Every structure is written in C-alpha cells, then in structure tokens.
Amino acid sequence: MKLYDGGRAPSPRRVRIFLAEKGIDIPKVAVDLGKLEQKSKSFSQLNPMQRVPVLELDDGTVIAESMAICRYFETLYPKPNLFGRDALEIAKIEMWNRRIEFGLYIPVQAVFRHLHPAMKEMEVPQVAAWGEANKPRAIEFLEIMDHELASHRFIAGDRFTVADITGLVTIDFMKPAKIELPENHKNVRRWHAEIAARPSAGA
Amino acid sequence: MKLYDGGRAPSPRRVRIFLAEKGIDIPKVAVDLGKLEQKSKSFSQLNPMQRVPVLELDDGTVIAESMAICRYFETLYPKPNLFGRDALEIAKIEMWNRRIEFGLYIPVQAVFRHLHPAMKEMEVPQVAAWGEANKPRAIEFLEIMDHELASHRFIAGDRFTVADITGLVTIDFMKPAKIELPENHKNVRRWHAEIAARPSAGA
C-alpha cells in the first residue's frame, strides 16, 4: 500500500501523526499541492475530490478522506486505541473530533483560503468577506475548547485520542491563516504544548 | 435519555432516520430553530455549539454532533450494522459519509444560509458571494456521486449504510436551498427514490 501525502497541509499531517502514534510506517508518495498536482488528471482519477491524503491498497482499492484512512488502520491495528473503546467514549471522541473540525478547522481553513494571497489559484473565487467572517468564529470556538480543557487533560477526556490530533493540526493551521491564539486561553496553551511535544507531532 | 430535536432541519433528521433504521424509539424534546431556541442560554449550557441534535443521557451526560449520537447507538445496538463490519467497509462508509458532508452538505448549507432571506438572523453576516460560489460546487459533487452510483446500488457499496442517510438528508436539503438536481443525474435519482421510499425516511 502507499499513502499519497501532501507535505505541510493539515489533513495529510493528521494521518501521518495518527500512523506515528500507531507505530505504522508505510511508503508515501509526495503530491505537490503548490503545483496543484492534486488537481491533475491522474490524481483526479485516484480521488475525484482532488484532495490528499489518499491511501491506495495493493489491489488498487482507494481510500480517501483522512478519517476514513485513520479508521481503516484503527480497525486493523487497534492498539493504542485512538477512537474509543465503549459507546460513551466512542461518542465523546467523535463529538470533539467533529466539534474541532466544524468549529475550528473549517473556519481556519476559510480564513486561510479566502484571505491568503498564495491561495488565489486554489480557491476560486476568493471571497474576502467570508474569510473575515470566519475569524471571530475560530476565536469563539477556542473559548469553548479552553473551557473544556480547564477540567480535562485531553480534549475528549483523560487520555490521548484522535480528537487531540485533529486539535493539534488545526491549532497549528492557525499560523499560516494568521490567527493568533489569545493569550488568556491558558488551558488550550497547556494542552497544545503537551500534544506538540509528543514524538508523533513531528511526523 | 432524551433527544433534543429540531424538526425539519437536516442534521436532526439524519439522527431520526438512523434511529428508525435501528428500530430505536426515544423521547424527543422539540427545539424551535425558527425562534432560535438553540441559541438560548439554557440550550447553550447543554451544547455550547448551539446546535441540534443533542442526546442527553439519564445521568446528565450530553452527546452532541449527529455522527457521535449515531455511533453511540451503533455501539449499543449493532444490528442492523450501518457503519461497517470490517476495516475496508468501515473505511469506505466513512469516506462516502464525509465526501457527502464536505462535498455536498456544506456547500448546500452555504447556499441556504447565505442566500435565503429566512436565514438573515441566523447567519450573520450573510455573504451572498459565498452562497453563490457554492452552487457550482454542489453540482460538481453530484456528478461524482452520479458516477459512483452508476456501478453501485448504494453510495458506499451494495448495502444500505449511514452514508445513504447522509446522502438522503443532503439531497432533500437542496430543496430549501433552491438547488435543482440536474435531470441527467439518473443514478442519483434512482438511488434517491429508493432511499426516500424506505419507511425510515419519514422519521
């Protein structure tokens, strides 16, 4: 199998960190997002959504979408568990994973894509007003996250899960989007420092 | 337990259909989205994201996010299986569920929220240019979906899964968003007719 990977972009990084936490190493194929290789004809045949990451199995089966790839490996290699062990834990991890995606990742992505000059060719049309509208949304969500992390070491409870990985790549995505983490969000800062210090964060 | 529900909105409907497919009946509390009840102080304490649906367990534990609620019930009541049985099926269902969410649901939602006059108080600011930019995205995704459904009875393979539920509520969400399903998408039409005819679709 091989993983079509996309360098510093947050979604491929999410999968790389997940695999590092599992201790799984698979061959990677670099897709140059700067050259819009993900929109090429050959890549579009692999994934019509024109996005990385994509996992290609040895028989040619394609699995796209970061969370689908992670769930594939979670099922094959259940340890360490990153998606939850019982109904309530599974639900809480999914809840926080999705809250971060919808409440933070998508707003940060909108700010980056609609306001960053480098995204002009990728995001057509760039709608600056939409980028601006998403800045306060990201900041609002960080308050919710900070409140949650005041009473929990990790975002979905007392242990590291896939929701923390989603949180890490999203917070780090704020840098190219030029959104600053407010100084007063001490719990988010404490949590981020801990997750970013794990060896997997460098994957 | 009880489910905070939101009438005709697509996300609460997704959970209601899921529960109907499982044969699960739980008490529901109506949240009036027209009166912005989901943004009230009391509801915000339940779910700071100010969204329905929300599941409240008897001990007060709260599970928000449609897919988190569905996964909670999938784990407790595994039959009929709607999220996949082995690694590859789990991955394919997750892939299509997310493709529909990101490729169709979010664009349709953007069209609805940013262009529909009734959403003026809920979506602040309404960015008409962003609504317009999402119309062709929804149409583009429908082509991908139609292509997939040319060779599969259901969206994630040969049996009904949660991805079909996501597809149904999203296609039906196109109506208030005033996006028409192109006439030539025969496979999507055939598939939609079959899913919409299931008793669960009325839930």
> Which tens digits make up the pLDDT trace of B47-59?
999 999 999 999 9
Distance from C-alpha of A78 to C-alpha of A90, rounded to nearest angstrom: 13
**pLDDT above 90: residue B8:** no
Q: What is the average pLDDT score of chain B?
A: 97
Token reading at B22: 């499982």
pLDDT for res B121: 87
**pLDDT above 90: residue A121:** no
Which chain A residues are within 8 Å of B73, Cβ to Cβ?
A: 87
Instruction: Name every residue whose Cβ is closer than 8 Å to that of residue A115 and which is 6 or more positions away in sequence.
Output: A126, A128, A131, A132, A177, A178
| Average of per-residue pLDDT across A39-55 | 96
Mutation test of the interface with chain A: which of B72, B104, B149, choosing the one with the most A Cβ atoms within 10 A? B72
**pLDDT above 90: residue A45:** yes
pLDDT for res B7: 81
**pLDDT above 90: residue A76:** yes
Collapse the DSSP code of B80 into the 3-class scheme (helix H, G, I; strand E, B; otherwise coil) and give the result.
Answer: coil
% of chain A beyond a pLDDT of 70: 100
pLDDT for res A27: 97
**pLDDT above 90: residue A95:** yes
pLDDT for res B34: 87
Which chain B residues are within 8 Å of A130, Cβ to Cβ?
A: 127, 129-130
The answer to whether the CB atoms of A91 and B106 lie below 8 A apart is no
Collapse the DSSP code of A178 into the 3-class scheme (helix H, G, I; strand E, B; otherwise coil) and give the result.
Answer: coil
Token reading at B189: 């039409």
Q: Which residue of B has its CA nearest to A67?
A: B94
Distance from C-alpha of B70 to C-alpha of B85, rounded to nearest angstrom: 15
Q: What is the pTM of this model?
A: 0.97
pLDDT for res A7: 81
Strand pairing class (B62-64; B54-56): antiparallel
Instruction: Name every residue whose Cβ is closer than 8 Å to that of residue A92 and which is 6 or more positions away in sequence.
Output: A84, A156, A157, B63, B68
| Average of per-residue pLDDT across A115-121 | 92
pLDDT for res A61: 98
| Average of per-residue pLDDT across B59-84 | 98
Phi-psi region of B50 (alpha: psi -120 to 50; beta: other; left: phi over 0): left
For B94, the closest of A71, A125, A144 (CB atoms) is A71
| Average of per-residue pLDDT across A13-23 | 98
Q: For chains A and B, what is the number of CB pairs under 8 angstroms?
A: 94
